[in-house]
Structure 1
């Protein structure tokens, strides 16, 4: 993988995004009711062309039906990471609104029919339609292959029955990408992805009061009708649609975390330069200096791992699942550490309602859980490492040591 250094165009774009987040998006975020979809904010993301960039369409092309073909090519992971990191630095609510549009819509990008794309993607790009990714259930979160939402055959289609929980943008989204079990006892091989508009009969939802300020809810499916026209991809192959989506978005969750961590560090550097204690500014205390040096080093390491994972995705590398898991793991754990350390260095003022760090302290916890908890990422990494070792051993067995000679590391 290449050593990372952003080019001047990318650097300038990130600076522009930070400015947009602070000056245009932050005021919209501050006016919103916590736990509700902020439609003016989503619309602004569309008007600014950021949702279009999210899907990999060429900058400046129209956010309408004619943009669908460009969108269908799919997102560039590195560009997605730069978007999320930069927006998170200036306005976490804007970052989250943008990311949820992508998470809920990318299954349509990668596996939708022409009719599905034409109906929904222009609306998402323009910020007029709100999307949601409905995978988690009360008893199937990290173990996504254990999904229990039933899709029972009915007159050439199916009826969906069951519950989804902890779904971002529920119950206010305009459509959901829903993963349901079409073949019992088949594990991951028996899951189908469906595009379900929010107005389908039998679909109901309720908001959940969560620590995170963005909307999260539960969905109840009572014989919700879906047809073959609603299927995303192939029947019984929906788990692949879900995993392909998560492989793209996991590094960008890391980018979100890096953006928050960088904001916390920069706030801390300003605070310790101004705050005096024990006869001088806090920054002159060795313990404080060592702490911020550790924070900065961890952030940079996480950032580079996120960018490397994104580049691997863009290049079609074989080890994307491992790199994506590593990026999300390190970046989210790093952000938790950095924000906590920043609160400690600020003292009680950081916990006052409305302080940047109070906000980040609430925001930073959830990314260690969603789209695969930290423990799940470690399991994925280990599984991929074992598979690589087995493959290497098989290749080695076919080489010069295959005829009974001693292996050099046996």
Structure 2
């Protein structure tokens, strides 16, 4: 059973990341425009060498980066994570030409990546996606499109970094009626004819948009992995990134917990410090307990991924589920213990309160994670009989 504890170099690296996030990344984040890609922030992540580590490190390092950055600058954490999410399929399944063209630019922060799976009618049920990849090899205009083999027609929605990304990992249906087995992953540059997008005004401050595909031409050179095997590309990416979503959540929970410790230790109320009230002390203890439990599950899942364990899907789902639900609880309790001041625009907890809600939905909602966990448990039971 995978176990995890930080060694001294890892602890020192995390401290360094928190300091970098506070001193170099947060000022850039504060200059960004909510709902839009902050290219200066992404470029700085590249300059610091953090984006390159997305392709040279394992799941544990990814979680360490995400937790540490989230503690001090959630915008920097999210910018890094979205680069990884959008580009990992290229790293893991791309051709040499695809990797050579895009990965160095992602690593240095000059190209923005996006992961385009969700659709208006296919969010949690990703296998029900309807973006059509229609055969176009015999199309008279195919030759002028560089020999287009398919044309993508349909919509994507709730896509982080859309519509401002430079390229998209797009999942489209190449075989109608085949469910998850008829989906293909494509690398689609943003300048392809027929591809347009609009931004969505969301609660979370990072950019999210919708994409429209009007007979967008793609060829065999744009395929990531194998035709009709794109769902494996999607799920493999999510198995890596789901524990790290949990790390993001743990970073936010720890920031909220530390803010609460500082506040309750100095706040005068009812003739003493807030921390001297048993109800407050017990609540803080519960927040700490849940945060540490979530952290341990996140890093156990990441360790399992790095070791190639067979139960990664279950562990990844458990880590994301527990950590994101925990962070929601901890941040909410922190707001309650701070009172009205925590609701003032610009307060750390007001910011975290807006940030903490989305991770319970994206990359598989909490209900989806419970379904994955149950499915894996029953499959293990049946295999043992």
Asked if the contact 1:134–1:179 (Cα under 8 Å) also holds between the matched residues in 2, the reply is yes
Query: 1:312: how far off?
Result: 0.4
Deviations 1:308-359, CA, capped at 9 Å, x for gaps: 0000000000000000000000000000000000000000000000000000
Please list the CA deviations of residues 195-216 of structure 1 after superposition, one character each: whole Å capped at 9, or x if unmatched.
0000000000000000000000
What TM-score, normalized to structure 1? 0.91
Secondary structure in 2 matching 1:50: coil
* Alpha-carbon distance in 2 for matches of 1:17, 1:303: 17
Contact kept? 2:75, 2:206, Cα under 8 Å: yes
- Given candidates 171, 174, 184, the residue that maps to 1:179 is 171
How do residues 108-119 of structure 1 correspond to structure 2 at under 5 angstroms?
A: 108-119=90-101
User: Residues 2 and 304 of structure 2 are in contact (CA less than 8 Å); yes or no, is this contact kept in structure 1?
Assistant: no
Residue-by-residue CA offset, 1:248-304 (whole Å, 9 max, x unaligned): 000000000000000000000000011100001100000000000000000000000
Please list the CA deviations of residues 348-383 of structure 1 after superposition, one character each: whole Å capped at 9, or x if unmatched: 000000000000000000000000000000000000
Matched residue, 1:332:
324
Aligned to 2:127: 145
* Aligned-residue offset at 1:4: 2.2
Count of residue pairs the alignment pairs up = 375
Q: Deviations over 1:126-185 (max 9, x none)?
A: 000000000000000111110100000112610000000000000000000000000000
Other-structure match for 1:355:
347
The equivalences for 1:9-408 within 5 A come to 9-56=9-56, 75-155=57-137, 157-393=149-385
C-alpha separation between the residues in 2 aligned to 1:204 and 1:311?
Answer: 39
Structure 1 residue 3, shift from structure 2 partner:
3.3
Tell which structure's C-alpha radius of gyration is larger.
1
The two structures have a TM-score, normalised by structure 2, of 0.97
Following the alignment from structure 2 to structure 1, what is the Cα–Cα distance between the partners of residues 117 and 51? 22
Structure 1 unaligned spans of 5+? 57-74, 394-410
Structure 2 distance, partners of 1:195, 1:277, is 58
Where do 4+ consecutive residues of structure 1 move more than 4 Å? Answer: none
**How many angstroms apart in 2 are the aligned matches of 1:3 and 1:173?**
37
Give yes or no for contact 1:336–1:364 (8 Å, CA) kept in 2: yes
Structure 2: which 5+ runs fail to align? 138-147
